[in-house]
Amino acid sequence: MVELQQPKFVYMGGKLRLWEDAKLHVGCEALTRGLNVYEGIKGYWQSDGRFGIVMLRRHYERLRRSARLLYIPCEWTYQEYESATLELITQLVQPDRDMWARTTLFVVEGHWGEGTVADLVITAYHQDKQPPQAINLGVSTWRRSVDVALPARIKTGTNYQVGRLARIEGRARGCQDMVLLNQWGRVAETTGACILMVRDGVVYTPPATEGALESITLDVVEALANSMGIPFVRRPIDRTELLIADEMALCGTLAELPLVKSFEGQPMSESALILEALQTRLLNAVRGIDPHPAIELSLLPAPGVFKCREAAGSALSVPS
């Protein structure tokens, strides 16, 4: 057994470096998809000129649940989490651009789970105010991992390895996202969002026990559907049901509610009246154009207070 040590040199980036200089950036893929739990959160400019972050407390609660399931200590209270997120976004936000932030609890110490120490790292990226584009969707040959291996309920970067494989597979087939089936061969979710299907006027989505993340946006969309008189049912979905669905869309914080324009290479019907109506209702609700009680916002101070400065090296597109 090799004990944990800190030898003088490490080989990295093509040369030997001092142990303390061998560093990876917190935004790099190896760390992003590594031992951590995280939340992707969304902030929108509101119709009254304020900037609001959507469902922040729900994200904090899910972060804590994920951390608990992976034995990662979370020392941050909700107030600390909220004020750190608001502080960063206040510094970065720009007029007319929304933001997507990633709040990640990284494991920085603790060999095989002994004496685990975590640090909260928050990064935030600009996003243009475009409604989501309709996508081509396929079914991946990769599967959602099972609850007794790497539970889908835990929002950890590690869980996204399979999504990475599925996206690589999907790109080769011209698909922007892919459905992951569960161990029973039924629909779980896509690589970064839940799935909505319409059959005979009813919106269906699989329950989390089918291998989907416990989605916050899904709860919001369900509440919107209820207010609009659209039947919304959570039940297992067979793969073949997606092939004969009347309408399909993804559902998630970053994805929002993009319609599916083709599935497994076959075009979907041009009219997706129900999901289009839900998409419009969702976007109007999160922007405060048509508020809904299901949506809680954490508001930044008035726009005049912002310094509105661009962070050096900030991303042009939003990584998920």
- Using CB under 6 A as the criterion, which residues of the chain lie in contact with ligand PMP when the complex forms? 40, 189, 192-194, 213, 215-218, 252-253
Q: How far is the CB of 101 from ligand PMP (least distance, A)?
A: 12
* CB of 17 or CB of 169, closer to ligand PMP: 169
Q: How far is the CB of 169 from ligand PMP (least distance, A)?
A: 16
* CB of 93 or CB of 218, closer to ligand PMP: 218
* CB of 194 or CB of 196, closer to ligand PMP: 194
For 227, residues 6+ apart whose C-beta sits below 8 A from its C-beta are 292
User: Which token pair is 69?
Assistant: 């399931």
The CA distance from 236 to 69, in Å, is: 25
* CB of 23 or CB of 235, closer to ligand PMP: 235
* CB of 17 or CB of 186, closer to ligand PMP: 186
Provide the b/e sequence for 120-134 (b: ≥16 CB within 10 Å).
bbbbbbbbeeeebeb
Provide the b/e sequence for 70-90 (b: ≥16 CB within 10 Å).
bebebebeeeebbeebbebbe
Q: How far is the CB of 32 from ligand PMP (least distance, A)?
A: 12
Q: How far is the CB of 13 from ligand PMP (least distance, A)?
A: 31
User: Which token pair is 246?
Assistant: 């009347």
Closest CA to 44 of 254, 272, 206: 254
Q: How far is the CB of 216 from ligand PMP (least distance, A)?
A: 4
Q: Give the Å distances, CA to CA, from 134 to 204, 248, 303.
A: 19, 10, 32
Q: How far is the CB of 40 from ligand PMP (least distance, A)?
A: 5
The CA distance from 25 to 41, in Å, is: 21
* CB of 271 or CB of 317, closer to ligand PMP: 317
Where residue 13 falls (left for φ over 0; alpha for ψ -120 to 50; beta otherwise) is left
